[in-house]
Structure 1
């Protein structure tokens, strides 16, 4: 079992909160950080921690269940489904980054930042000791 999931929910983003939860779980499964049988925090725990409506979290979990990534276990809550192995997640890991990369490219263009500077900043952010990493 992996360590408890801590979602990075950012209400100021244009992406709806339920979508943020869905995409984070998809990435964690595709990246192998969540594997079959790993428990997700309860709807109530996520809602309280992030001061959001429990129905938002419930919607995200239901969508993930419909996708086959999560399953409900009586008395336990939501867990990563057995068939949701990284290789069977059905999604290319880089494809999961595409929306964020497109947004980054658009924002850099709007700010007039040259691609080389963006790539350097991204390389720094990817360093293990970077303070910019989540």
Structure 2
């Protein structure tokens, strides 16, 4: 698991975003067991307390379920995962639009840029 951290926001939130992205794109499937806190801490090079905080926050949001003696598992609730995907999408699209508008792009120019980028991505 390769995660690069920056100073713009707390590491536990960046790690949570990393897990949410993997859950959202299907790399980590519903019902799948997450690596232990210790394994994750060693793998990404952070304090286990930071990973524990990440797991606790994901559990608070309902995306991860802790099972006593077994570990942490991704929820099997497809509606919650669908909601997570929608939140991620809204967050990134809103940030992108605000950035573009603040830099003087019109709505039509933004749409044109998105279409051009999609055409490049699709081959």
Compute the TM-score of the two structures, normalised by the length of structure 1: 0.62
Task: Show the counterpart of 2:73.
Answer: 79
Alignment-derived partner of residue 9 in structure 1: 3
Q: Larger radius of gyration, structure 1 or 2? A: 2
- The structure 1 residue matched to 2:116, chosen from 103, 112, 120, is 120
SS in 1 for 2:34: coil
CA contact (8 A) 1:47 1:57 kept: yes
RMSD, aligned CA: 3.2
Deviation string 1:43-73 (CA, Å, 9 cap, x unpaired) is: 2222222222222211110112223322233
Task: Measure how far apart 1:112 and its partner are.
Answer: 5.5
Deviations 1:78-108 (A, max 9, x none): 1124xx3222447263332222222223444
Q: Give 1 or 2: higher helix fraction.
A: 2
Between the aligned partners of 2:120 and 2:18, the Cα distance in structure 1 is: 18
Aligned length: 118
The answer to whether the 8 Å contact 2:63/2:80 transfers is no
Contact preservation (8 Å) 2:30, 2:77: yes
Whole-angstrom CA distance in 2 between matches of 1:88 and 1:94: 10
Q: 1:73 to 1:54 in 2, by over 3 A?
A: same
**2:94 aligns to what?**
102
Structure 2: tracts of 5 or more residues without a match: none
